[in-house]
Amino acid sequence: MTVPQSPRPVTTPRSGVPKTVWDLVFTLIIPILILSPNILGSGISVAELLGGGTGGNIRAYVVAALIPVVYVLVDLFVNRNVSPVAIIGGAGAIFSGALAFWYVDGFWYAIKDSARSYLTGILFLISAATSVPLFRVFLDAASIGEKPEDRAATQQAMRDPQVHRALALGTVAFAVVDLVGGVVNSIVNYGRVTARFGTDTFNAQVAEVNAIMRIPALVISLVGVGLALWLVQGAVRRRYGDGASLFEPAKLAARMRERGEIGA
């Protein structure tokens, strides 16, 4: 099963434990332990505790799928994060949770496990043809904490035709890489999750693929983000000069003032 990622940026909660650690615990480690027919060689099986047999395995599968979803949604509502990025992440979590109740195996499970990547890729491709490419939403969120005048300069820069074209192209690049990642994940799942749904072996194979694909999925995602950023930042530098960056709103605003594109 594809584990949803929290939509919030990496922070350090009051407990002092980095949020990335909590993400790893709730979106990977706990689901893997729940799916395991023999947790860490202890002889304990969550499926057995939930009734055993096919019913116990199905319940364990659903619980393992829903724990990351609940974690993301609780994080979203507790922190009252209503930014577009958080909303997109929350919607993705709900989508993943709904798919947990689609009981399939074989080819259709391989498709289901990558469905979120496929949907994200398609939505990003569609948005690239609109006035607000979705990659712009993520970049815009990076300037939320800046001074109003610097944030206004960033938004003005992203509306510039040259930069907008790069944002659209970056959105397409991100979408294509995400779709490729979905295909890779489907291929791995199809090759390794071969047991019948509702069996101990199926759950164990799902847990194995979750562990195997965690780092490759992250790397693929970073490649997509990196490529999109490279395209956008290149356009910003060509438009506003060397040193201009969407991630440094104050410096970008200063460059724009020097060029007379915004008031002093």
User: d(Cα 172, Cα 127) in Å, to the nearest integer?
Assistant: 9
Per-residue pLDDT of the chain (264 residues), as tens digits, is: 654 444 444 444 445 778 788 888 988 999 999 999 989 888 889 999 999 999 999 999 999 999 999 988 888 788 776 667 777 778 888 898 899 999 999 999 999 999 999 999 999 999 999 999 999 988 887 777 778 888 888 889 999 999 999 999 999 999 999 999 999 999 999 999 999 999 999 999 999 999 999 999 999 999 999 999 999 999 999 998 888 888 888 888 888 888 777 755
Q: Are 255 and 240 in contact (CB under 8 A)?
A: yes
- Measured CA angle at 85 (ends 126, 90), to 5 deg: 95
- Measured CA angle at 29 (ends 25, 31), to 5 deg: 110
Counting every residue, how long is the chain?
A: 264
Residue labelled with tokens 């709730």: 26
Q: What single-letter DSSP state applies at residue 42? A: S
Q: What single-letter DSSP state applies at residue 39? A: G
Q: What single-letter DSSP state applies at residue 79? A: T
| The predicted structure's pLDDT at residue 11 | 43
Q: 6: helix, coil or strand?
A: coil
Tokens coding 37? 């027919």
| The predicted structure's pLDDT at residue 243 | 81
| The predicted structure's pLDDT at residue 257 | 84
Q: Give the H or E element holding residue 70.
A: helix 53-78
Tokens coding 182? 């979905």
Whole-prediction pTM: 0.84
60 Cβ contact list (under 8 Å, min separation 6): 34, 35, 45, 46, 47, 50, 203
| The predicted structure's pLDDT at residue 210 | 93
User: d(Cα 251, Cα 264) in Å, to the nearest integer?
Assistant: 13
Q: Give the H or E element holding residue 41.
A: none
As to burial, measured by CB atoms within 10 angstroms (0-12 exposed, 13-18 middle, 19+ buried), residue 30 is middle
Tokens coding 199? 């069996």
Amino acid at 108: W
| DSSP characters over 118-186 | HHHHHHHHHHTTSSS-HHHHHHHHTTTTS-HHHHHHHHHHHHSHHHHHHHHHHHHHHHHHHHHHHHHHH
Q: 103: helix, coil or strand?
A: coil
| The predicted structure's pLDDT at residue 81 | 64
